[in-house]
Structure 1
Amino acid sequence: MNYTNNYYLAEQMKIGNPKAYDYLMHSFYQKLCAYAYTLSHDHGTAEDIVQNVFVEVWLNKKNINPVFSIKNYLYKSVYNEFINQYRKSKPVYCLEKKYLEAVDIEVENTYDNLDELVKLVNKEINCLPPKCRQIFLLNKKEGLSHIEIAEYLDVSMKTIEGHMTRGFKILRDRLDDKMKTVFFILFG
Protein backbone atom coordinates (compact mmCIF):
# COMPACT_ATOMS: atom_id res chain seq x y z
CA MET A 1 0.00 0.00 0.00
CA ASN A 2 1.57 3.20 -1.24
CA TYR A 3 0.09 6.01 0.86
CA THR A 4 2.63 8.46 -0.54
CA ASN A 5 0.45 8.60 -3.66
CA ASN A 6 -2.03 11.43 -3.01
CA TYR A 7 -4.81 9.85 -5.05
CA TYR A 8 -4.48 6.46 -3.37
CA LEU A 9 -4.29 8.02 0.10
CA ALA A 10 -7.41 10.10 -0.57
CA GLU A 11 -9.31 7.07 -1.85
CA GLN A 12 -8.29 5.03 1.21
CA MET A 13 -9.36 7.88 3.50
CA LYS A 14 -12.73 8.10 1.74
CA ILE A 15 -13.47 4.44 2.45
CA GLY A 16 -12.42 4.88 6.08
CA ASN A 17 -9.18 2.89 6.09
CA PRO A 18 -7.70 3.52 9.56
CA LYS A 19 -4.18 2.75 8.28
CA ALA A 20 -4.47 5.62 5.80
CA TYR A 21 -5.55 7.92 8.64
CA ASP A 22 -2.63 6.72 10.78
CA TYR A 23 -0.26 7.42 7.88
CA LEU A 24 -1.73 10.90 7.51
CA MET A 25 -1.35 11.61 11.23
CA HIS A 26 2.18 10.20 11.33
CA SER A 27 3.27 12.13 8.24
CA PHE A 28 1.74 15.52 8.98
CA TYR A 29 0.94 15.94 12.68
CA GLN A 30 4.28 17.42 13.79
CA LYS A 31 4.65 19.58 10.67
CA LEU A 32 1.14 20.96 11.09
CA CYS A 33 1.75 21.65 14.79
CA ALA A 34 4.87 23.60 13.86
CA TYR A 35 2.90 25.56 11.27
CA ALA A 36 0.05 26.22 13.72
CA TYR A 37 2.59 27.42 16.27
CA THR A 38 3.87 30.04 13.80
CA LEU A 39 0.30 31.35 13.67
CA SER A 40 -0.71 31.11 17.32
CA HIS A 41 2.63 31.39 19.17
CA ASP A 42 1.27 28.93 21.75
CA HIS A 43 2.08 25.21 21.79
CA GLY A 44 -1.21 24.16 23.42
CA THR A 45 -3.30 26.18 21.00
CA ALA A 46 -1.27 24.83 18.06
CA GLU A 47 -1.93 21.23 19.13
CA ASP A 48 -5.63 21.96 19.67
CA ILE A 49 -5.86 23.44 16.18
CA VAL A 50 -4.19 20.43 14.54
CA GLN A 51 -6.25 17.94 16.55
CA ASN A 52 -9.45 19.73 15.53
CA VAL A 53 -8.35 19.58 11.89
CA PHE A 54 -7.66 15.84 12.06
CA VAL A 55 -11.01 15.20 13.74
CA GLU A 56 -12.75 17.19 10.98
CA VAL A 57 -10.81 15.32 8.29
CA TRP A 58 -11.95 12.00 9.74
CA LEU A 59 -15.55 13.11 10.20
CA ASN A 60 -15.69 14.47 6.64
CA LYS A 61 -13.57 11.77 5.02
CA LYS A 62 -16.27 10.94 2.47
CA ASN A 63 -15.91 14.46 1.03
CA ILE A 64 -12.18 14.18 0.33
CA ASN A 65 -11.49 14.90 -3.32
CA PRO A 66 -8.61 12.71 -4.55
CA VAL A 67 -7.78 15.23 -7.28
CA PHE A 68 -6.69 17.88 -4.77
CA SER A 69 -3.52 17.74 -2.68
CA ILE A 70 -4.19 16.42 0.82
CA LYS A 71 -1.13 18.26 2.08
CA ASN A 72 -2.43 21.61 0.81
CA TYR A 73 -5.87 20.81 2.21
CA LEU A 74 -4.42 20.10 5.66
CA TYR A 75 -2.37 23.30 5.75
CA LYS A 76 -5.34 25.38 4.58
CA SER A 77 -7.54 23.67 7.19
CA VAL A 78 -5.03 24.52 9.94
CA TYR A 79 -5.03 28.15 8.83
CA ASN A 80 -8.85 28.24 8.76
CA GLU A 81 -9.07 26.63 12.21
CA PHE A 82 -6.61 29.20 13.55
CA ILE A 83 -8.79 32.00 12.15
CA ASN A 84 -11.90 30.42 13.70
CA GLN A 85 -10.25 30.12 17.12
CA TYR A 86 -8.87 33.65 16.87
CA ARG A 87 -12.33 35.02 16.17
CA LYS A 88 -13.81 33.16 19.13
CA SER A 89 -11.17 34.43 21.53
CA LYS A 90 -10.97 38.01 20.22
CA PRO A 91 -11.89 40.37 23.08
CA VAL A 92 -14.87 42.65 22.79
CA TYR A 93 -13.64 46.20 23.16
CA CYS A 94 -15.15 48.66 25.61
CA LEU A 95 -16.91 50.69 22.91
CA GLU A 96 -18.42 47.52 21.42
CA LYS A 97 -19.64 46.50 24.89
CA LYS A 98 -21.34 49.87 25.35
CA TYR A 99 -22.91 49.59 21.91
CA LEU A 100 -24.19 46.10 22.65
CA GLU A 101 -25.59 47.21 26.02
CA ALA A 102 -27.41 50.10 24.33
CA VAL A 103 -28.80 47.73 21.71
CA ASP A 104 -30.01 45.35 24.45
CA ILE A 105 -31.81 48.19 26.24
CA GLU A 106 -33.38 49.38 22.97
CA VAL A 107 -34.51 45.89 22.06
CA GLU A 108 -36.01 45.25 25.51
CA ASN A 109 -37.90 48.55 25.47
CA THR A 110 -39.07 48.44 21.87
CA TYR A 111 -39.90 44.88 20.95
CA ASP A 112 -42.10 42.59 22.97
CA ASN A 113 -42.06 40.05 20.19
CA LEU A 114 -38.36 40.04 19.22
CA ASP A 115 -38.15 36.28 18.63
CA GLU A 116 -40.94 36.52 16.07
CA LEU A 117 -39.21 39.42 14.28
CA VAL A 118 -35.90 37.50 14.19
CA LYS A 119 -37.73 34.51 12.67
CA LEU A 120 -39.22 36.78 10.00
CA VAL A 121 -35.81 38.26 9.16
CA ASN A 122 -34.30 34.77 8.94
CA LYS A 123 -37.20 33.69 6.72
CA GLU A 124 -36.42 36.52 4.32
CA ILE A 125 -32.73 35.62 4.34
CA ASN A 126 -33.67 32.02 3.48
CA CYS A 127 -35.65 33.35 0.49
CA LEU A 128 -32.52 34.88 -1.07
CA PRO A 129 -31.19 33.14 -4.20
CA PRO A 130 -29.06 30.14 -3.12
CA LYS A 131 -25.58 31.48 -3.94
CA CYS A 132 -26.46 34.93 -2.62
CA ARG A 133 -27.80 33.39 0.62
CA GLN A 134 -24.69 31.21 1.04
CA ILE A 135 -22.32 34.17 0.63
CA PHE A 136 -24.46 36.43 2.83
CA LEU A 137 -24.53 33.85 5.66
CA LEU A 138 -20.80 33.10 5.38
CA ASN A 139 -20.15 36.81 5.84
CA LYS A 140 -22.80 37.81 8.35
CA LYS A 141 -23.25 34.66 10.44
CA GLU A 142 -19.87 32.94 10.12
CA GLY A 143 -17.92 36.21 10.16
CA LEU A 144 -15.77 35.46 7.11
CA SER A 145 -14.32 38.39 5.22
CA HIS A 146 -14.99 38.84 1.52
CA ILE A 147 -11.44 37.64 0.77
CA GLU A 148 -11.91 34.49 2.87
CA ILE A 149 -15.23 33.73 1.18
CA ALA A 150 -13.68 34.25 -2.27
CA GLU A 151 -10.89 31.80 -1.40
CA TYR A 152 -13.27 29.30 0.21
CA LEU A 153 -15.69 29.29 -2.75
CA ASP A 154 -12.95 29.80 -5.35
CA VAL A 155 -14.67 32.82 -6.90
CA SER A 156 -13.62 36.41 -7.52
CA MET A 157 -13.98 39.26 -5.06
CA LYS A 158 -16.30 41.01 -7.54
CA THR A 159 -18.62 38.00 -7.38
CA ILE A 160 -18.71 38.16 -3.58
CA GLU A 161 -19.31 41.93 -3.58
CA GLY A 162 -22.05 41.57 -6.18
CA HIS A 163 -23.89 38.90 -4.19
CA MET A 164 -23.58 40.88 -0.95
CA THR A 165 -24.92 44.05 -2.59
CA ARG A 166 -27.76 42.09 -4.17
CA GLY A 167 -28.59 40.39 -0.86
CA PHE A 168 -28.74 43.67 1.04
CA LYS A 169 -30.90 45.28 -1.65
CA ILE A 170 -33.37 42.38 -1.70
CA LEU A 171 -33.62 42.36 2.09
CA ARG A 172 -34.04 46.15 2.32
CA ASP A 173 -36.86 45.97 -0.21
CA ARG A 174 -38.63 43.09 1.56
CA LEU A 175 -38.35 44.15 5.21
CA ASP A 176 -40.62 46.75 6.83
CA ASP A 177 -39.16 49.41 9.15
CA LYS A 178 -39.57 47.36 12.33
CA MET A 179 -37.82 44.37 10.78
CA LYS A 180 -35.07 46.60 9.33
CA THR A 181 -34.08 47.53 12.89
CA VAL A 182 -33.83 43.86 13.87
CA PHE A 183 -31.87 43.19 10.69
CA PHE A 184 -29.45 45.98 11.58
CA ILE A 185 -29.06 44.66 15.13
CA LEU A 186 -28.36 41.15 13.86
CA PHE A 187 -26.12 41.98 10.92
CA GLY A 188 -24.96 45.59 11.27
Structure 2
Amino acid sequence: MSQYSFKNNEKLIQRLQAGDSECFQYIFNELVEPLTAFIYTYTQDEALAEDIVQHSFMKLWEKRTSLNPQAFLKTFLFTIAHNRFIDIYRKEKKQVYLTDTIYLETVLETEELNEENLKPRLEQIDKAIESLPKKCKEVFLLKRQHNLKNKEIAEYLGISIKTVEDHISRALRLIRKQVLIWLILILSDFFN
Protein backbone atom coordinates (compact mmCIF):
# COMPACT_ATOMS: atom_id res chain seq x y z
CA MET A 1 0.00 0.00 0.00
CA SER A 2 1.27 3.44 -0.94
CA GLN A 3 2.35 5.88 1.74
CA TYR A 4 0.65 8.62 -0.31
CA SER A 5 -3.06 9.24 -0.66
CA PHE A 6 -5.33 11.98 -1.96
CA LYS A 7 -7.41 11.41 1.17
CA ASN A 8 -4.69 13.36 2.97
CA ASN A 9 -4.32 16.20 0.50
CA GLU A 10 -2.55 18.51 2.94
CA LYS A 11 0.14 15.91 3.61
CA LEU A 12 0.65 15.42 -0.14
CA ILE A 13 1.19 19.15 -0.58
CA GLN A 14 3.64 19.25 2.34
CA ARG A 15 5.62 16.38 0.79
CA LEU A 16 5.60 18.13 -2.57
CA GLN A 17 6.76 21.38 -1.00
CA ALA A 18 9.66 19.47 0.56
CA GLY A 19 10.66 18.28 -2.93
CA ASP A 20 9.59 14.65 -2.47
CA SER A 21 9.95 13.26 -6.00
CA GLU A 22 8.24 9.97 -5.06
CA CYS A 23 5.19 11.95 -3.95
CA PHE A 24 5.22 13.80 -7.27
CA GLN A 25 5.50 10.45 -9.10
CA TYR A 26 2.48 9.15 -7.16
CA ILE A 27 0.42 12.22 -8.12
CA PHE A 28 1.51 11.88 -11.74
CA ASN A 29 0.66 8.16 -11.89
CA GLU A 30 -2.75 8.70 -10.32
CA LEU A 31 -3.82 11.70 -12.38
CA VAL A 32 -2.11 11.50 -15.77
CA GLU A 33 -4.80 9.34 -17.41
CA PRO A 34 -7.92 11.12 -16.08
CA LEU A 35 -6.34 14.52 -16.80
CA THR A 36 -5.41 13.51 -20.35
CA ALA A 37 -8.92 12.15 -20.95
CA PHE A 38 -10.42 15.39 -19.60
CA ILE A 39 -8.30 17.60 -21.88
CA TYR A 40 -8.84 15.30 -24.85
CA THR A 41 -12.58 16.05 -24.64
CA TYR A 42 -11.65 19.65 -25.53
CA THR A 43 -8.80 19.14 -28.00
CA GLN A 44 -9.87 15.98 -29.83
CA ASP A 45 -6.11 15.68 -30.41
CA GLU A 46 -4.25 13.10 -28.35
CA ALA A 47 -0.77 14.61 -28.83
CA LEU A 48 -1.98 18.09 -27.89
CA ALA A 49 -3.81 16.73 -24.84
CA GLU A 50 -0.62 14.95 -23.73
CA ASP A 51 1.43 18.15 -24.22
CA ILE A 52 -1.04 20.15 -22.14
CA VAL A 53 -0.98 17.53 -19.37
CA GLN A 54 2.81 17.43 -19.37
CA HIS A 55 2.87 21.23 -19.12
CA SER A 56 0.41 21.05 -16.21
CA PHE A 57 2.58 18.65 -14.24
CA MET A 58 5.65 20.80 -14.91
CA LYS A 59 3.74 23.81 -13.54
CA LEU A 60 2.75 21.82 -10.46
CA TRP A 61 6.39 20.98 -9.79
CA GLU A 62 7.52 24.58 -10.44
CA LYS A 63 4.89 26.02 -8.09
CA ARG A 64 5.08 23.31 -5.42
CA THR A 65 6.77 25.56 -2.82
CA SER A 66 4.06 28.21 -3.10
CA LEU A 67 1.07 25.84 -3.00
CA ASN A 68 -1.60 26.54 -0.45
CA PRO A 69 -1.73 23.50 1.89
CA GLN A 70 -5.54 23.68 1.81
CA ALA A 71 -5.65 23.60 -2.02
CA PHE A 72 -6.97 20.48 -3.69
CA LEU A 73 -4.26 19.05 -5.92
CA LYS A 74 -6.70 17.46 -8.35
CA THR A 75 -8.59 20.74 -8.78
CA PHE A 76 -5.33 22.66 -9.08
CA LEU A 77 -4.02 20.38 -11.85
CA PHE A 78 -7.29 20.27 -13.76
CA THR A 79 -7.50 24.08 -13.59
CA ILE A 80 -3.94 24.50 -14.88
CA ALA A 81 -4.66 22.11 -17.75
CA HIS A 82 -7.96 23.77 -18.64
CA ASN A 83 -6.38 27.24 -18.59
CA ARG A 84 -3.54 26.02 -20.79
CA PHE A 85 -6.06 24.67 -23.30
CA ILE A 86 -7.90 28.02 -23.30
CA ASP A 87 -4.64 29.90 -23.93
CA ILE A 88 -3.75 27.62 -26.85
CA TYR A 89 -7.27 27.84 -28.28
CA ARG A 90 -7.31 31.65 -28.15
CA LYS A 91 -3.87 31.85 -29.74
CA GLU A 92 -4.93 29.49 -32.55
CA LYS A 93 -8.17 31.39 -33.18
CA LYS A 94 -6.24 34.66 -33.46
CA GLN A 95 -3.68 32.98 -35.72
CA VAL A 96 -6.38 31.55 -38.03
CA TYR A 97 -8.10 34.94 -38.23
CA LEU A 98 -4.78 36.70 -38.88
CA THR A 99 -3.76 34.11 -41.51
CA ASP A 100 -7.11 34.45 -43.30
CA THR A 101 -6.85 38.25 -43.31
CA ILE A 102 -3.25 38.24 -44.55
CA TYR A 103 -4.13 35.71 -47.25
CA LEU A 104 -7.04 37.79 -48.49
CA GLU A 105 -4.87 40.93 -48.56
CA THR A 106 -2.13 39.03 -50.42
CA VAL A 107 -4.62 37.85 -53.04
CA LEU A 108 -5.60 41.46 -53.60
CA GLU A 109 -1.97 42.49 -54.02
CA THR A 110 -0.84 39.69 -56.38
CA GLU A 111 -0.71 41.95 -59.41
CA GLU A 112 0.32 45.53 -59.91
CA LEU A 113 -2.60 47.56 -58.65
CA ASN A 114 -4.08 49.72 -61.34
CA GLU A 115 -7.66 50.53 -62.11
CA GLU A 116 -7.82 48.05 -64.99
CA ASN A 117 -6.95 44.91 -63.00
CA LEU A 118 -8.25 46.06 -59.60
CA LYS A 119 -11.87 46.46 -60.70
CA PRO A 120 -12.48 42.78 -61.65
CA ARG A 121 -10.92 41.59 -58.39
CA LEU A 122 -13.04 43.94 -56.31
CA GLU A 123 -16.12 42.81 -58.23
CA GLN A 124 -15.22 39.18 -57.49
CA ILE A 125 -14.82 39.95 -53.78
CA ASP A 126 -18.19 41.77 -53.79
CA LYS A 127 -19.80 38.72 -55.43
CA ALA A 128 -18.20 36.48 -52.82
CA ILE A 129 -19.51 38.70 -50.01
CA GLU A 130 -22.99 38.74 -51.57
CA SER A 131 -23.03 34.94 -51.71
CA LEU A 132 -22.28 34.55 -48.00
CA PRO A 133 -25.00 33.05 -45.77
CA LYS A 134 -27.29 35.80 -44.44
CA LYS A 135 -26.06 36.01 -40.81
CA CYS A 136 -22.44 35.49 -41.82
CA LYS A 137 -22.70 38.32 -44.35
CA GLU A 138 -24.38 40.62 -41.84
CA VAL A 139 -21.62 40.07 -39.25
CA PHE A 140 -18.87 40.45 -41.87
CA LEU A 141 -20.29 43.73 -43.20
CA LEU A 142 -20.72 45.15 -39.69
CA LYS A 143 -17.06 44.35 -39.07
CA ARG A 144 -15.63 45.51 -42.41
CA GLN A 145 -17.90 48.36 -43.54
CA HIS A 146 -18.92 49.79 -40.19
CA ASN A 147 -15.67 48.99 -38.36
CA LEU A 148 -17.51 47.65 -35.32
CA LYS A 149 -15.64 45.63 -32.72
CA ASN A 150 -16.65 42.02 -32.12
CA LYS A 151 -18.20 42.95 -28.76
CA GLU A 152 -20.27 45.72 -30.39
CA ILE A 153 -21.48 43.35 -33.11
CA ALA A 154 -22.38 40.74 -30.50
CA GLU A 155 -24.40 43.26 -28.47
CA TYR A 156 -26.08 44.71 -31.57
CA LEU A 157 -27.15 41.31 -32.91
CA GLY A 158 -27.77 39.68 -29.52
CA ILE A 159 -25.27 36.87 -30.11
CA SER A 160 -22.09 35.78 -28.34
CA ILE A 161 -18.65 37.16 -29.18
CA LYS A 162 -17.57 33.61 -30.07
CA THR A 163 -20.40 33.39 -32.61
CA VAL A 164 -19.25 36.71 -34.10
CA GLU A 165 -15.69 35.37 -34.37
CA ASP A 166 -16.97 32.16 -35.98
CA HIS A 167 -19.00 34.12 -38.56
CA ILE A 168 -16.03 36.33 -39.45
CA SER A 169 -13.68 33.36 -39.80
CA ARG A 170 -16.25 31.55 -41.94
CA ALA A 171 -16.79 34.63 -44.12
CA LEU A 172 -13.06 35.05 -44.72
CA ARG A 173 -12.72 31.35 -45.55
CA LEU A 174 -15.61 31.46 -48.05
CA ILE A 175 -14.42 34.70 -49.65
CA ARG A 176 -10.87 33.39 -49.91
CA LYS A 177 -12.13 30.18 -51.53
CA GLN A 178 -14.21 32.01 -54.14
CA VAL A 179 -11.45 34.52 -54.93
CA LEU A 180 -8.94 31.70 -55.21
CA ILE A 181 -11.18 29.81 -57.64
CA TRP A 182 -11.58 32.99 -59.66
CA LEU A 183 -7.78 33.52 -59.74
CA ILE A 184 -7.20 29.93 -60.82
CA LEU A 185 -9.67 30.38 -63.68
CA ILE A 186 -7.98 33.65 -64.71
CA LEU A 187 -4.53 32.04 -64.60
CA SER A 188 -5.68 28.97 -66.54
CA ASP A 189 -7.09 31.26 -69.25
CA PHE A 190 -3.78 33.16 -69.24
CA PHE A 191 -1.68 30.01 -69.74
CA ASN A 192 -3.97 28.46 -72.39
TM-score normalized with structure 1 length? 0.49
TM-score normalized with structure 2 length? 0.48
Select the structure of larger CA radius of gyration.
Answer: 2
